[in-house]
Structure formats: C-alpha cells, structure tokens
Structure 1
Amino acid sequence: MDSLATTPLTDWHRENGAKMAPFAGFDMPVQYKGIIIEHNHTRSKAGIFDISHMGEFELSGPGAKDALNKVVSHDLNTLAPGKCRYGFLLNETGGINDDLIIYCLADDEYMLVVNGACREKDFNHIKDNLPNDLKLSDVSDETAKIDIQGPESLEVLNALMGADWKHLKYFNFEATDALGFSMIVSRTGYTGELGYELYLPADKALEVWEKLVADERVEPVGLGARDTLRLEIGYPLYGQDLDEAHTPVEAGAGFFLKKESDYIGKSGLGTVKESLVSLTIAGRRTARHDDAILLPSGETVGRVTSGSFAPSMGHCVALAYVKAEAADNDEFLVKTARTELKAQKVSLPFYKEGTARKKLD
C-alpha cells in the first residue's frame, strides 16, 4: 500500500488526539472530541477544518477565459473578478469527472479548486484541452486550506484578521496580506453555515491554525462531522453522490449548468437513466452507502449513495440514485443488512436553519 500524503497540520492533529484515517490518499482527522459534539459546535458556534488535501490549480494567459469556458460547465462570461462559482468538469458523455469551484482572480486569470482524489486526473484533463500558450500550474503542495464554519465564524475571522469582514458577500472572495503574507479569504463552505475558506501558504498553516484554536469560540472539526454537516444540507460528495457514471442533471444539479455555449460533455446531458433523490427516515436507524432502495411493492429501483443520522434533526437522512421512472414516487423502502426502513422523499435542504446566506448588516 502506498504511503499516505500529509497536510501541513497532520502532526498537530496526531499530537492533539485526533482519530486519523485515510481519505483521498491523505492521512486525515476523522474526529477529535466526537462527531456529534463537533457537528453541534459548528451549527451553534464555529468549527475549523483542515481541508488542505484539496487541489488548487492556477490558470492565466490571454484567452484563458474563452478556452476554459469550453472545458467546464461554469459560465465564466458572467464571473467577475472577486467572485467564485461552483460547477463541473465533465467527460465526453456528460459524466462528472469532478465538481469544483472556480475563482476569477482577474481578467483571464483563475484559480480552480478540485477534490484531492481527482487532482492528477483533473489537471491532465484540463491541460489536454487547453491551448499550449496558456499557463496552467498545480499549486496544491504549496497551498494550505483552512475552513472556518459556523454562526460565529465572522467574529472569529475578524479577531484573527484584526478587521471587519462583514462586507464579503456569499461566493465572493478577497486577497489580503493582513497577517503578513498573501492569502485568499472566501465566503464559501461545505456545511450550510456562515463560513469562510482560507487559502494560504502551506508553511503558514500551523501558525494560523493555532491562533484559531486559541479562540474560545472555536473547536477543530474532523471529516466525520464535515460529512454529517454537508449531508444535512444535501451537498453531494464526489465519489459517492457524484461520479463519472452520472451527469449533473441526474444528480439534480442541472441548474448549475450554463446553457448558451458548448463545453465538453454538454451533448450527453439529455440522457437521464437515474435520478438522485433525497430521503428522510424516522428514528435513529441509519441507511448506509450501497443499501438497496425499493418501492413499497418490493421492486428494487436504486441504491443509497450517502446516508447518516442527522444530529441537527434527530433522524436519518439519505441521498440515493433511483431509476428515472421511479423518481416521482414519494415513498420508498431502504433495505439494510437487518431490516427494511420506510423512507419519504423530501426536497432539499434537509436542514433548513443554516446561516450560509445570512445577510451581514
């Protein structure tokens, strides 16, 4: 087995009692004090996350916008400097190679943030489909990423930076050297709460992390709670809810796709074989990845992609792919290893009290 990669904070996690596990080829913290404790702290105060396993690419050069526009599903014509946008990198048949956020740093200058497990695949795919005169660089190894998430994250960020950041709007970002080095502060996140993502030099990550941990409002949060937080909002996870076998339309994310111009994979978006549905299950019994989805008649029509007990809601929630012709049903059964659980289809988000889009006056 290949050795696991580390982040600039891996030693800190181990020294401070984190339970570690492999994720996306990295040795990552799963939990510190417990998944539910960390989940609830993020929903009520502020949690910090080491997300340095993510990949970051920089693209620049005359014509970069027009060239990248043909590769990704994002509409870069309406993406101004200082703003970022979520979307997809598709294969030729419309399947999802990866989901990613693109940051417009300046005219014809972008940062692409991709999933860590897809870093090499994404870089090669993008490079192979761009003109040779554009500069595409993988800056992942020199870049750390720390997320501050929760209703009190603005106050935590202000204390860290020594300035008020309430002006930063949702899916906007700014570069700053307030801490003595260049970094990006982005009002984005994966929890459904008000939050900020910090992109900073890898050799400054420990310094910033320790300043954040010293704030009494802050607790470190592992990947376990990150998963329950994102699932309560209905955010998909690449490799489970998103994959090369399904299109964004099948994943219920067609509204993210641009319509006016062509890009790789667009021609395959019209085929819908399965649809991703969101399900709630009463009680604490939990659906798991790959559990079968049945109609009440007993016919198998799909499988669970993500499932967990939702701490903020007190019951189980799940995402599942079902046959397109079954997606209009409101009631399903989840066949677990021990029993069958009744599941009700609902609209997203499951948890509706998140503060991510809160207006900061």
Structure 2
Amino acid sequence: MEPLKNTPLCAEHEKLNALMAPFGGWNMPIQYEGIIAEHRWCREKAALFDICHMGEFHFKGDIVASGLEDVFTFSVKSIPVGRSRYGFLLNENGGVIDDLIVFRLADDEAMVVVNAATIEKDFAAISARLCGGEFRDISAETGKLDLQGPLSREVLSGVVGPEIAAIPYFKFIRTKVLGVDAIVSRTGYTGELGYEIFLPAEKSAELWTRFLSDERVKPAGLGARDVLRLEMGYSLYGSDIDEATTPLEAGLEAFVNFDKAFVGKEALLKQRAEGVKRLKVAFDVTSRRSPRHDYEIHFEGERVGTVTSGVFSPMLGCGIGMGYVNPSVATLGAPLTITHEKVSMEATVVELPFYRGGSLRS
C-alpha cells in the first residue's frame, strides 16, 4: 500500500487532537469535538473544513478546438466567465469516472475540481480526450478551505472584504486573500450558505488559523461533512456513484446535456430507451438507527437492492439513507426493510432533499 498523503494542514489537525483516518489515499480529520457537535455548528454558525485533498486541473486554450467542450456531460463553452457548473466525466459505457465542477475563469481558461481519490485517473482520462490547449494538474500547489454555515458570509467578509457578500450561488470571484491570488466561490457540500476558497497551498495554514481566531468558526471533519451532505441527498463518489453506475440510474439526468457530444452519450441514450434496471432511492428509517453501506434493502420479504450511504440525521431525528433498488419499488411512500445480519429497520422511500431548512440560498 502507498503511504497516506497529508494536506498542508496536517500539523494544525494534530494540534487540535483531531481523530485522523484514511480517506481516498489521504490522512484526513474525521472529527475534532465530535460529529454531532460539528454538524450542528455548521447548521447554526460557521464550520471550517480542510478540503486540500481535492484535485484541481488548469486548462488554457480554445474550449471547442481543444476538445474540452466534448469531455463532460455539460457544456463548458456556455458557462459564463465567473460561474461554475457541476456534472460528470463518463466512460464509454456511461459509467461515472467522476463527478466534478468546472470553473470558467476566462474565455480561454478553466479550472476543473475533482475528487481526491480520482485525481490521477481523471487527469489521464481528460488528457486523452484533448487535442490542444495547455492542461496541467495543479492539485499539489493548490490549497482549498471550505467555510460553511449561515454566518460564513459575515466571517468571510471580515477576512476578504465586503465584495464577497454579492457573490450569487455557483458564482465565484478572483481576488486577493492574505495578499495572494485566490478564488472565492459560493459553492459547497453542506446545504448551508458557504464558500470554497482556493489559494496557494503554502498559505492554507495561515488562512486556517485566521478563520479559527473568530469565535463564530469551529473546525469540522469529514464525519460531519458526510452527515451534512447526506441530509441534502448529495451523492458521494465511490459510494453512491462510480464507474459501474450511470447518471440515469443515480437519478442525476438533470446534469446530462443530451444536446451536445460527450463520451458515454450513446450508452446513456441506449439505456434511456431500454429502461434502467435499478434506480437510486432515498429513504428514512422509523427509528434512530443508522443504515450503513452494503446493508440489504427488502420489499415484501424479497431483496430488491443495497444501501450505498446512511447515517443518523440530527436534523430529522432518525436514520436516513440512499441505495439502489429495482425500479418497480422506486416510488415515493414505498415501504422498505433495511437488514444486516440480525439488524432490521423499517423505512419509507422519500423525496430529496431530506433536510430543507438550510441557508444555502440565503
């Protein structure tokens, strides 16, 4: 096994006595004070996440002539400068190599933000599809901190300046942070008002310390982040979506533009015409028990699927989860039974998001 990679903030996590664990090949903080406490702080105040493990690629050149326009399930050329777009990098079978976000930096410039565990695979796949332009992996030189929560705008304005208050959802600005060039984007993975800050990796610790000097801010680990994202029904790569799963099966067709060319399009059109053999559903449990990855899903005594994500939701006071089932039972209100060895819990198919009270669009 390859040794785990550390983010530039590893020493800061150790100072805070964070519980560290492997995630996507990285040594990452799972919790500090505790998952429930950190989750609530993000829902009520402002939580700070170390996301320096994520990957970033930089593209410079003609968006169309280079072939970049045909790489993803969405159009890059139609993204206005200063905005970003979410979608997929697919294989020939329509399976998800990764879910990612593209930031349109200029008419001839873009940044692609990808998941940590798929950096090398994504870079190779995208590079192979390009026939021009300059494409670089800038992950090692780029730091990324996420400030999320209803107070994040007030906190960030005090550090960066009042101009960030005007950034709409899924838009970003290029500005100075701690005297260096940075990107501040109003995006996140929590369902709360929040920002993602990209800056030189060597400045990450300084910005981390600056944020934590504010009593409205506390650090949060990947444990709280997972609960927060699942309450919103956001898919986790490697659990809810992967190369054996298509966006149609995952209920994410809204992020696929069939009016343009992309790798995997023919496979998706064929699947759409024939019908999917499984569908992702969301369900809540009638108790505080947590469904877990790989638990079985049953309907009327017959196994119909498998859980891919599950947690106890502090906001709903019950277990929640997502998984794939036979299309025949993928209907709202369908009664399910989640089982694992001697564990059994009753559940009901529900609509996403689970939690609707966040400050995301405030």
TM, length-normalised to structure 1: 0.96
Work out the CA distance in 1 between the residues paired with 2:23 and 2:65.
32
Q: Hey, what does 1:20 align to over in structure 2?
A: 20
Work out the CA distance in 2 between the residues paired with 1:25 and 1:246.
22
The answer to whether the 8 A contact 2:191-2:229 is kept is yes
Deviates more, 1:323-332 or 1:239-248: 323-332
Amino acid at match of 2:70: K
The SS at the match of 1:188 is coil
Amino acid at match of 1:341: M
Amino acid at match of 1:102: V
Q: Hey, what does 2:262 align to over in structure 1?
A: 263
Runs of 4 or more off by more than 6 Å in structure 1? Answer: none
Deviates more, 1:280-289 or 1:66-75: 66-75
Q: Deviations over 1:254-308 (max 9, x none)?
A: 011112111101111142121000000022111110000010x211110000000
Q: Deviations over 1:34-74 (max 9, x none)?
A: 00000000000000000000000001112457611211012
Structure 2 unaligned segments of length 5 or more: list them.
none
For residues 249-328 of structure 1, what are the structure 2 equivalents within 5 Å? 249-270=248-269, 271=271, 272-295=276-299, 297-328=300-331
Structure 1 unaligned segments of length 5 or more: list them.
none
Q: Hey, what does 1:216 align to over in structure 2?
A: 215
Amino acid at match of 1:281: V
> How far apart are 1:163 and its partner, in Å?
2.6
Amino acid at match of 1:191: T
The SS at the match of 1:232 is helix
The SS at the match of 2:6 is coil
| Pair 1:353 & 2:357 matched | yes
Change (3 A) 1:116 1:64: farther
Q: Hey, what does 2:348 align to over in structure 1?
A: 344
Deviates more, 1:90-99 or 1:325-334: 325-334
Amino acid at match of 1:152: L
Work out the CA distance in 2 between the residues paired with 1:285 and 1:138.
42
Work out the CA distance in 2 between the residues paired with 1:65 and 1:16.
49
The SS at the match of 2:266 is helix
Work out the CA distance in 1 between the residues paired with 2:4 and 2:225.
20
The answer to whether the 8 A contact 2:46-2:147 is kept is yes
The SS at the match of 1:308 is strand
Q: Hey, what does 2:99 align to over in structure 1?
A: 99
Amino acid at match of 2:248: V
The SS at the match of 2:162 is coil
> How far apart are 1:181 and its partner, in Å?
0.4
The SS at the match of 1:319 is strand
> How far apart are 1:129 and its partner, in Å?
0.7
> How far apart are 1:160 and its partner, in Å?
1.2
Identity among equivalent positions (%) equals 48
For residues 129-144 of structure 1, what are the structure 2 equivalents within 5 Å? 129-131=129-131, 133-144=132-143
> How far apart are 1:247 and its partner, in Å?
0.5
Deviates more, 1:277-286 or 1:111-120: 277-286
Deviates more, 1:54-63 or 1:64-73: 64-73
Amino acid at match of 1:263: F
Work out the CA distance in 1 between the residues paired with 2:63 and 2:343.
57
RMSD: 1.2
The alignment covers a number of residue pairs equal to 356
> How far apart are 1:352 and its partner, in Å?
0.5
The SS at the match of 1:285 is coil
TM, length-normalised to structure 2: 0.96
> How far apart are 1:178 and its partner, in Å?
4.5
Amino acid at match of 2:44: S
Q: Deviations over 1:7-49 (max 9, x none)?
A: 0001110121000000010100000000000000000000000
The answer to whether the 8 A contact 1:83-1:104 is kept is yes
> How far apart are 1:324 and its partner, in Å?
2.2
Q: Hey, what does 1:242 align to over in structure 2?
A: 241
Work out the CA distance in 1 between the residues paired with 2:65 and 2:254.
21
